[in-house]
């Protein structure tokens, strides 16, 4: 997939469907060693966006649920509004009347790609509403604009897997070049979301801007090892490669008990474990579903010992991408 300047395939007299409801899933970004370049989609949780044709020109957010009133409802400040309005501007249809409902079905500031799920659901939905003027891969830059408004950085390692499904490598940002990576069929992911919040913007601002060459060598060895392990269905290689000497040492201080919880996952049989996106969620990969469930139980117990409540999700890698619900 290679995506630079998508060309609109619609004129000004677009035909709109009456309404559409779309689900887009959570994603695990970075996948330990691939800061800003690796990510994968899971089956759940995820967000839903409903779009309705309106006679009144312009975008209006009519309803947001599941956010405890925290997300802005002005379209120009909301990730869904921004990504949809970028899309409409690009096709010269800024004045189309569209009502937006956003149903957040995953926690904010969780490291599960919450803003990406909303942006992707919104952009995918508006493309469908207008009869698919763009191919799915051409929607990525619009969804990335939603990330920019959410955290100040248009990284693609959440939006790309949410949009395409599967395990994704962002080979390059300029030009944008996104590659789907195959995964072994029995690879399962455990995600644990502790009841604390970390803002991506903050978790990015504490990272070092320069890295020593010796760390870079370790890191790119692991990225290449992880990708090779996925291609070859070599679980041991996948596990050995889930090491991060650059980001984890800095960000783990934001997650109470991080090392104990990670150790509990490894003791329970996980191949590897790390921070999901910018945290505070952790994720682990396992080579079957039963192990992935036990890993979740042990991680949850480890958080309980520190009086921290948590939610656990176990899922295959989701190869579907966004789903049209109605
Ligand atoms: N790659 C991004 C980061 C993902 O780690 O900041 C944020 O979810």
Centroid of ligand 1 to alpha carbon of 92 (angstroms): 31
Helix, strand, coil percentages in the chain from 3-state DSSP, rounded to 5: 35, 25, 40
Nearest to 11 by CA among 107, 131, 128: 131
pLDDT at 181: 98
Protein residue closest via CA to atom 3 of ligand 1:
278
Distance 154 CA to ligand 1 centre (A): 10
Per-residue confidence (pLDDT) for residue 5, from 0 to 100: 43
Atom 4, ligand 1: residue with shortest CA distance: 277
Compute, in angstroms, the gap from residue 278 CA to the centroid of ligand 1.
Answer: 5
The residue whose CA is least distant from atom 8 of ligand 1 is: 277
Q: Can you tell me which atom of ligand 1 is nearest the CA of 251?
A: 5
Measured in Å, residue 262 CA sits from the centre of ligand 1 at: 19
For residue 47, give the H/E element and its range: strand 38-53
**Residues in the chain with pLDDT < 50?**
2-5, 7-12
Which residues are identified as catalytic?
A: 147, 200
- Nearest C-alpha to atom 1 of ligand 1 is from which residue? 36
289-305 helix and 258-267 helix, angle to the nearest 10 degrees = 150
Residues 6+ apart with CB under 8 A from 28: 39, 40, 42, 112, 113, 189, 191, 276, 277, 283
The pLDDT assigned to 154 comes to 85
Q: Which residues line ligand 1 (CB under 6 A)?
A: 29-30, 35-36, 111, 113, 155, 157-158, 200, 203-204, 277-278
């Amino acid at each position: 997939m290679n995506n630079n300047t998508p060309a609109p395939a619609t004129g000004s007299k677009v035909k709109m469907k009456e309404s559409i409801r779309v689900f887009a899933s959570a994603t695990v970004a970075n996948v330990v060693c691939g800061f800003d370049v690796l990510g994968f989609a899971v089956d759940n949780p995820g967000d839903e966006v409903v779009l309705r044709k309106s006679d009144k020109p312009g975008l209006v957010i009519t309803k947001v649920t599941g956010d405890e009133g925290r997300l802005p409802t002005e379209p120009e400040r909301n990730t869904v509004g921004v990504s949809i309005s970028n899309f409409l501007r690009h096709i010269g249809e800024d004045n189309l009347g569209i009502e937006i409902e956003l149903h957040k079905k995953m926690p904010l500031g969780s490291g599960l790609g919450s803003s990406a799920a909303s942006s992707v659901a919104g952009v995918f939905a508006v493309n469908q509403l207008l009869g698919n003027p763009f191919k799915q891969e051409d929607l990525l830059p619009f969804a990335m604009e939603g990330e920019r408004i959410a955290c100040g950085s248009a990284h693609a390692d959440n939006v790309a897997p949410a949009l395409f499904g599967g395990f994704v490598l962002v080979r390059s940002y300029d030009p944008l070049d996104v590659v789907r990576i195959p995964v072994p069929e029995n690879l399962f992911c455990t995600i644990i979301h502790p009841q604390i919040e970390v803002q991506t913007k903050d978790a990015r601002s504490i990272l070092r801007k320069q890295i020593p060459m010796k760390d870079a060598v370790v890191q790119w060895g692991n990225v290449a090892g992880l990708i090779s392990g996925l291609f070859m269905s070599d679980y041991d290689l996948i596990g050995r490669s889930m090491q991060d000497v650059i980001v984890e040492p800095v960000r783990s201080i934001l997650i109470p008990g991080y090392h104990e919880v990670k150790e509990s996952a490894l003791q329970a049989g996980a191949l590897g474990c790390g921070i999901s996106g910018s945290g505070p969620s952790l994720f682990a990969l396992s080579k079957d579903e039963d192990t992935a469930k036990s890993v979740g139980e042990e991680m949850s117990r480890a958080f309980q010992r520190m009086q921290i409540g948590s939610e656990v999700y176990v899922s295959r890698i989701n190869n579907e991408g966004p789903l049209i619900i109605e």
